């Protein structure tokens, strides 16, 4: 299946990393989070990618046009580096389509902009490109395929460190607990869609607002529960993921852990 990756957002909550770096290009270890997401899909056999670009699209294009395979692959060097023979390859079998979907477009409109590239696809995948999981993707895809639903998304417990507070009418606090223990589930941004999703998205609409409400009204939207999910929405979370990588505890790297 083809994989649509939303890469055009401004990423304002990661401005500490620098204004010239789009959020999907913020690094975890040797590679940007976008690469980690793409490696995840490639591990499950999905190597046709459509990148919905916007903010700092040139940075993403230049990264792949000047991709350095040797960073994450074994190789043999001869003749003082003039002859380099790779033992393995990350992206040799990948097909990547780069599409400018607008600087200020929301996710729904970015998806509409690449509709023609999904002609003939009964089902396809999509991702926000800012979170990681070790979910068995085949299980989520099969779950939607066996149902009458049109869309499925991964829903997980939030990993952020803030707390949820309950108050009485007079403002007295009755409960305070970590958000991860609150029972709240978030949209983790790992989507599986049938092509019919385009019938529910109208001009200017955000994907998870009006279109998803229509699907909910028809009981055609499915949440797939799986909790191990690591979001990279802040500088602190980027540091935590980098520490996990350096410490050899990166469960989302299913291609390496298997």
- Per-residue pLDDT 10s for the chain (258 aa) are 999 999 987 765 555 555 668 889 999 999 999 999 999 999 999 999 999 999 999 999 999 999 888 888 788 988 877 788 888 888 889 999 999 999 989 999 999 999 999 999 999 999 999 999 999 999 999 999 999 999 999 999 877 656 778 888 777 787 787 766 667 888 999 999 999 999 999 999 999 999 999 999 999 999 999 999 998 888 889 999 999 999 999 999 999 886
| Domain ranges, residue 130 | 2-158+185-257
The answer to whether position 180 is within a domain reads no
| Dist CA 252 CA 105 (whole Å) | 29
| Dist CA 187 CA 255 (whole Å) | 24
The answer to whether position 84 is within a domain reads yes
Domain count, the chain: 1
Q: Which residues pair with 151 in a beta bridge?
A: 193, 221
pLDDT (tens digit, 9 = 90+) per residue, 218-253?
Answer: 999 999 999 999 988 888 899 999 999 999 999 999
Domain containing 154 — which CATH number? 3.90.550.10
**What's the pTM value of the predicted model, to 2 decimals?**
0.89
The answer to whether position 229 is within a domain reads yes
Taking alpha carbons only, the member of 21, 22, 28 closest to residue 9 is: 22
The answer to whether position 173 is within a domain reads no
The answer to whether position 195 is within a domain reads yes
SS (H, E, C) 33-49: HHHHHHHHHHHCCCCEE
The answer to whether position 150 is within a domain reads yes
Which tokens sit at 48?
Answer: 């046709």
The answer to whether position 58 is within a domain reads yes
pLDDT (tens digit, 9 = 90+) per residue, 1-16?
Answer: 999 999 987 765 555 5
The answer to whether position 25 is within a domain reads yes
């Amino acid at each position: 299946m083809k994989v649509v990756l939303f890469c055009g957002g401004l990423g304002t909550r990661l401005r500490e990393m620098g204004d010239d770096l789009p959020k999907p290009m913020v690094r975890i270890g040797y590679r940007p989070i976008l690469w980690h997401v793409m490696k995840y899909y490639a591990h499950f056999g999905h190597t046709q990618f459509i990148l919905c670009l916007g903010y700092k699209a040139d940075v993403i294009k230049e990264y792949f046009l000047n991709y350095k395979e040797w960073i994450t692959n074994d190789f043999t060097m001869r003749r003082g580096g003039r002859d380099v023979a790779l033992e393995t390859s990350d992206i040799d079998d990948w097909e990547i389509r780069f599409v400018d979907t607008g600087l200020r477009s929301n996710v729904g409109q970015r998806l509409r902009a690449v509709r023609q590239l999904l002609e003939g696809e009964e089902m396809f995948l999509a991702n926000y490109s800012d979170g990681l999981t070790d979910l068995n993707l085949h299980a989520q895809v099969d779950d939607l395929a066996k149902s009458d639903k049109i869309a499925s998304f991964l829903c997980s417990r939030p990993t952020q460190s803030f707390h949820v507070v309950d108050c009485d009418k007079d403002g007295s606090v009755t409960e305070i607990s970590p958000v991860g223990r609150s029972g709240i589930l978030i949209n983790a941004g790992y989507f599986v869609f049938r092509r019919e999703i385009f019938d529910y998205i109208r001009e200017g609409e955000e994907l998870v607002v009006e279109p998803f409400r229509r699907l909910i009204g028809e009981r055609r939207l499915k949440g797939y529960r799986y909790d191990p999910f690591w979001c990279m929405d802040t500088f602190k979370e980027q540091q935590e993921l980098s520490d996990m990588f350096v410490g050899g505890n990166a469960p989302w790297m299913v291609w390496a852990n298997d």
